[in-house]
C-alpha cells in the first residue's frame, strides 16, 4: 500500500458494484437446501466488509434469522449497516467492529458461522477457523467461501488466447511471486481455498463438504446485460487507475517480498500496463470477450 493509501481500509479496492454480481441466486438457494439453512436462527458473518456475503444470503435464511456481521474496519461496519437499511434488512442485520482472530462472542453462540474471501487475508487462517468453530453451537454449521486466485492467471480471453507459452508462464510466475510475497508479509495467501477441507478436518468438523461456485464472469460483445456493463466499467476503471489485482506499490511490495527483483518487477508491470491499454481498446471497440472462469470454493462442516 502506498503512503497516500495508508488509511485506506482493508480491501477498499474490491468493493465495487461488480461484487453485487458474484453469485447466481438459484445456486445459493440450492446451497441453502444442501446445508439445511432453514433451521438456522443465529448467524455470524466474519470479516463482513460492507455486507455483500451476509446480505445476499438474506433470501435463503429463515425470515426470523438474526445476522451479526463483524469486521475490523469501522468504516465497513458503518457502511454494512447503511447497506442493510437500504435493503430493508436493518431489523435482522446488526454490524459490529472486532477482530476475527479473537471474536468478541461467547463459546457456542451461533447456529451458522460463515466468511467470504477473509481467510485469504489472514496470517493464521487456522486460528481464525478455530475461533469461528469456538463461537459455533454444537451441531452448528461452518461455511468458508474462499478462492484459488492464481487460477485467474490461466483464464484466457480474446487477447491472451494466442500468447506464447513463455509469456503465459511468465504471467503465472509473476502473480505467484506476488501471492507468495503477500503471504511472506503475513497478509494471507490468495489461493488458500485449496487447503480449506483439510483445515476444517483438523478443526474436528464433521460431514465436511466441498462445492464450487457455478458463477462465471463472462463478458462478450455487445455487453448488453447490466452485469456485463458493470464488469466492463470495472475493467475500464481499473485500467485507467493503472490497477492490476493490486496497485503498483502494493504489487511491488509483494513481488519483492516473494523473491522477485526490482528490475523484473518494473519490466513485468510495464508489460501489464501495455496489456491494459490493449484491453481498454478492445473493450471500447467491443472485440474483447472471455468465458471468465474462476475457482471459488464453498467448504462446509458441522461442529
Ligand X SMILES: C[S@@+](CC[C@H](N)C(=O)[O-])C[C@H]1O[C@@H](n2cnc3c(N)ncnc32)[C@H](O)[C@@H]1O
Instruction: Candidates 57-65, 72-80, 130-138, 193-201: pick the segment binding ligand X (CB under 6 A).
Output: 72-80
Q: Is 121 one of the binding residues for ligand X (CB under 6 A)?
A: yes
Any contact of residue 47 with ligand X (CB under 6 A)?
yes
CB closer to ligand X, 103 vs 257: 103
Contacting ligand X (CB under 6 A), which of 118, 141, 231, 298? 118
Nearest approach, Cβ of residue 69 and ligand X (Å): 8
Secondary structure of the chain in HEC code, one letter for each residue? CCHHHCCCCCCHHHCCHHHHHCCCHHHHHHHHHHHCHHHCCEEEEECCCCCHHHHHCHHHCCCCCEEEEEECCHHHHHHHHHHHHHCCCCCCEEEEECECCECCCCCCCEEEEEEECCHHHCCCHHHHHHHHHHCEEEEEEEEEEEECCHHHHHCCCCCCCCCCHHHHHHHHHHHHHHHHHHHHCCCCCCCHHHHHHHHHHHCCCEEEEEEECCCCCCECCCCCCHHHHHHHHHHHHHHHCCCECECHHHHHHHHHHCCCCHHHHHHHHHHHHHHHHHHHHHHHCCCCCECCCCCEEEEEEEC
Residue 147 touches ligand X, criterion: CB under 6 A: no
The alpha carbon of 182 is separated from its chain's Cα centroid by a whole number of angstroms, namely: 15
Rank residues 120 and 283 by Cβ distance to ligand X and give the closer one. 120
Binding positions for ligand X, 195-214, rule CB under 6 A: none
**Closest to 133 in 3D by CA, of 220, 6, 44, 64:** 44
**Residue in 31, 35, 40, 49 binding ligand X, rule: CB under 6 A:** 49
Closest-approach residue to ligand X (CB):
49
Does position 48 bind ligand X by CB under 6 A?
yes
CB of 167: closest distance to ligand X in angstroms?
29
Q: How far is the CB of 10 from ligand X (least distance, A)?
A: 3
Among 55, 68, 81, 117, contact with ligand X (rule: CB under 6 A):
117
Q: Are 257 and 185 in contact (CB under 8 A)?
A: yes
Among 43, 44, 55, 71, binds ligand X (CB under 6 A): 71
Contacts with 15 (C-beta within 8 Å, 6 or more apart), sequence order: 49, 50, 52
Binding of ligand X by 134 (CB under 6 A): no
Counting contacts by CB under 6 A, is residue 76 touching ligand X? yes
17 forms part of the interface with ligand X (CB under 6 A):
no
- Which residue in 72, 130, 137, 248 binds ligand X (CB under 6 A)? 72
For ligand X, the binding residue among 35, 52, 133, 141 (CB under 6 A) is 52
Q: CB 57 → ligand X: shortest distance, Å?
A: 11
Q: Which of 100, 129, 133, 196 binds ligand X (CB under 6 A)?
A: 100
Asked if 73 is part of the footprint of ligand X (rule: CB under 6 A), the reply reads: yes
Under the binding rule (CB under 6 A), the answer on residue 187 touching ligand X is no
Report the C-alpha gap between 137 and 274 in whole angstroms. Answer: 52
| Site residues for ligand X per CB under 6 A | 10-11, 14, 47-49, 52-53, 71-73, 76, 99-101, 116-118, 121
Amino acid at each position: 500500500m502506498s503512503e497516500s493509501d495508508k488509511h485506506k481500509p482493508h480491501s477498499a479496492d474490491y468493493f465495487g458494484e461488480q461484487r453485487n454480481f458474484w453469485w447466481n441466486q438459484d445456486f445459493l438457494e440450492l446451497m441453502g437446501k444442501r446445508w439445511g439453512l432453514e433451521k438456522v436462527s443465529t448467524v455470524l458473518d466474519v470479516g463482513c466488509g460492507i455486507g455483500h456475503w451476509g446480505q445476499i444470503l438474506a433470501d435463503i435464511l429463515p425470515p426470523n434469522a438474526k445476522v451479526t456481521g463483524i469486521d475490523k474496519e469501522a468504516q465497513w461496519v458503518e457502511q454494512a449497516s447503511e447497506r442493510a437499511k437500504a435493503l430493508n434488512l436493518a431489523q435482522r442485520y446488526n454490524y459490529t467492529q472486532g477482530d476475527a482472530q479473537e471474536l468478541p462472542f461467547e463459546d457456542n453462540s451461533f447456529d451458522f458461522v460463515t466468511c467470504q474471501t477473509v481467510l485469504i487475508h489472514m496470517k493464521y487462517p487456522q486460528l481464525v477457523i478455530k475461533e469461528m468453530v469456538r463461537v459455533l453451537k454444537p451441531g452448528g454449521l461452518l461455511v468458508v467461501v474462499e478462492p484459488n486466485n492464481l487460477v485467474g492467471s490461466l483464464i484466457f480471453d480474446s487477447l491472451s488466447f494466442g500468447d506464447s507459452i513463455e509469456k503465459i508462464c511468465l504471467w503465472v510466475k509473476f502473480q505467484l511471486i506476488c501471492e507468495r510475497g503477500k503471504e511472506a508479509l503475513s497478509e494471507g495467501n490468495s489461493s488458500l481455498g485449496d487447503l480449506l477441507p483439510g483445515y476444517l478436518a483438523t478443526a474436528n468438523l464433521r460431514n465436511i463438504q466441498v462445492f464450487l461456485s457455478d458463477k462465471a464472469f463472462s463478458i462478450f460483445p455487445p455487453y448488453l446485460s447490466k452485469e456485463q456493463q458493470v464488469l466492463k466499467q470495472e475493467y475500464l476503471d481499473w485500467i485507467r487507475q493503472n490497477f492490476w489485482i493490486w496497485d503498483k506499490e502494493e504489487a511491488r511490495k509483494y513481488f519483492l517480498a516473494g523473491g522477485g527483483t526490482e528490475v523484473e518487477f518494473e519490466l513485468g508491470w510495464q508489460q501489464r500496463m501495455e496489456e491494459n491499454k490493449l484491453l481498454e481498446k478492445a473493450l471500447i471497440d467491443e472485440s474483447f470477450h472471455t468465458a471468465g472462469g474462476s475457482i471459488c470454493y464453498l467448504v462446509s462442516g458441522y461442529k
